[in-house]
Amino acid sequence: MTSSPQPNTSPIPAPAQTLAAQAHLPPLRIVLAAPRGFCAGVDRAIQIVELALIKYGPPVYVRHEIVHNRFVVESLRAKGAVFVEELDEIPDTGQPVIFSAHGVAKSVPAAARLRNMFVLDATCPLVFKVHNEAARHYEQGHAILLIGHKGHPEVVGTLGQLPAGAIHLIETADEASTFVPTDPDRLAYVTQTTLSVDDTADIVAILKSRFPKIAGPAKEDICYATTNRQVSVKAIAGQIDALLVVGAPNSSNSLRLVEVAERNGCKKSFLVQRAADIPWNELGTLSSLGISAGASAPEQLVNEVVDAMRARYAVTIDIVTTAEENIAFNIPRELRDVVRPSGGGPGVAG
């Protein structure tokens, strides 16, 4: 559901003593973009690791960062998760092996089966949807173009759904303009889920104008969370002096938020992993500051950034909400009987 941007009051009010201490500080209006932070796929992936740790005890092995956020990874590591990049780093074990939210090439579950590993797959269902689309196009005899960023784990996983050479990666509009297919009438495209909505629309428009018969997704491959976070940043970009996006440097959807802000009038846009990274010198003198967060960034880190601002400014907060999100994905059957300790909920804060 989408609504027009509306300022609200802050959900993170300053403590009374902070308000008193702020009296002599310069004013700063913080504009919080909403939605921001955790998406349903990230929430599910973190829950899978946490529930597996409760049910099976440590160690629980996780292939690749479960989601692209160091704070999340460190929190889970402290609870007994062991992160590896490849399955051959895992000893023979009956303990769970979890695949990250980004998805994996078909060779990975095949290798796990050969070793009788107990796999819990945290691939986001919206990434699975892209895998299934690619497989369907392949069965129909199409050559497939994947619009995405080379080397990103999701792209590696999608390319690995089909035999080598079946999917051709397109990273830029230039590549879309110059790609030469074997048969222009038997082409299809899919996309990475965390791309720039605008850049991807440009690339798709080029492909459609060059290859009018190209098949594509019935509904966008760029996921709801990526789209919503870009829309909310666009809505605030013109009314702020600077923007901080809380997210990791290897988080595709977070990087896209910085680009979206820059292109929509907020030239001072920065990615920060947490408050310690705030580039105070580059921010300069501020009267307003936007804050958003990528889909793998916990809200605690947003609160940390707001607190850092409160130490230097008399802060007021507006929230600009451009969409309501109420999507949740089922966790794997094996974990549905796990009872969390009282007070435990999804996320990494507990």
The single residue listed with the structure tokens 């105070």 is: 280
Closer to ligand SF4 by Cβ: residue 34 or 309 = 34
User: Alpha-carbon torsion 34, 303, 40, 290, what sign?
Assistant: positive
Residues in contact with ligand SF4, counted by CB under 6 A, come to a total of 15
Q: How far is the CB of 131 from ligand SF4 (least distance, A)?
A: 12
What number of other Cβ atoms are within 10 A of residue 229's Cβ? 32
Q: How far is the CB of 327 from ligand SF4 (least distance, A)?
A: 8
Q: Does residue 161 interact with ligand SF4 by CB under 6 A?
A: no
Instruction: Kindly tell me which residue out of 32, 122, 126, 159 binds ligand SF4, with binding defined by CB under 6 A.
Output: 126
Instruction: Kindly tell me which residue out of 22, 194, 230, 292 binds ligand SF4, with binding defined by CB under 6 A.
Output: 194
Contacts of residue 198, defined as CB under 8 A and 6 or more positions apart, other chains included, come to 260, 263
Q: Does residue 200 interact with ligand SF4 by CB under 6 A?
A: no
The single residue listed with the structure tokens 């409160």 is: 310
Helices (H) and strands (E) counted in the chain, each on its own, are 12, 13
- Strands of 167-170's sheet in order across: 167-170, 143-147, 187-191
Q: How far is the CB of 316 from ligand SF4 (least distance, A)?
A: 30
Q: Does residue 225 interact with ligand SF4 by CB under 6 A?
A: yes
Closer to ligand SF4 by Cβ: residue 110 or 328 = 328
The single residue listed with the structure tokens 């939210």 is: 101
Q: How far is the CB of 286 from ligand SF4 (least distance, A)?
A: 29
Taking CB atoms, the residue at the shortest distance from ligand SF4 is 41
- Catalytic (active site) residue 154: yes
Residues 290-329 contacting ligand SF4, CB under 6 A: 295
Give Cα separations from 83 to 18, 61, 67, 76, 297 (angstroms): 39, 6, 11, 9, 18
Alpha carbons 261 and 238: distance in angstroms, whole number: 8
Q: Does residue 41 interact with ligand SF4 by CB under 6 A?
A: yes
Q: How far is the CB of 225 from ligand SF4 (least distance, A)?
A: 4
Q: Does residue 193 interact with ligand SF4 by CB under 6 A?
A: yes
What number of other Cβ atoms are within 10 A of residue 350's Cβ? 12
Q: Does residue 75 interact with ligand SF4 by CB under 6 A?
A: no
Residues 84-123 contacting ligand SF4, CB under 6 A: 101
Closer to ligand SF4 by Cβ: residue 68 or 268 = 68
Residue in 199, 200, 194 with CA at minimum distance from that of residue 296:
194
Instruction: Kindly tell me which residue out of 30, 40, 266, 320 binds ligand SF4, with binding defined by CB under 6 A.
Output: 40
Q: Does residue 223 interact with ligand SF4 by CB under 6 A?
A: yes
Q: Read off the tokens for 312.
A: 């230097």
Alpha carbons 182 and 188: distance in angstroms, whole number: 13
In the chain the beta strands, taken as DSSP E runs, fall at 7-8, 27-34, 60-63, 81-84, 96-99, 118-121, 143-147, 167-170, 187-191, 242-246, 269-272, 288-293, 314-321
Stretch that binds ligand SF4, among 40-48, 75-83, 201-209, 299-307 (CB under 6 A): 40-48
Residue among 50, 65, 133, 154 flagged as catalytic: 154
> Which residues are the active-site residues?
154
Site residues, ligand SF4 (CB under 6 A):
39-42, 101, 124, 126-127, 193-194, 223, 225-226, 253, 295
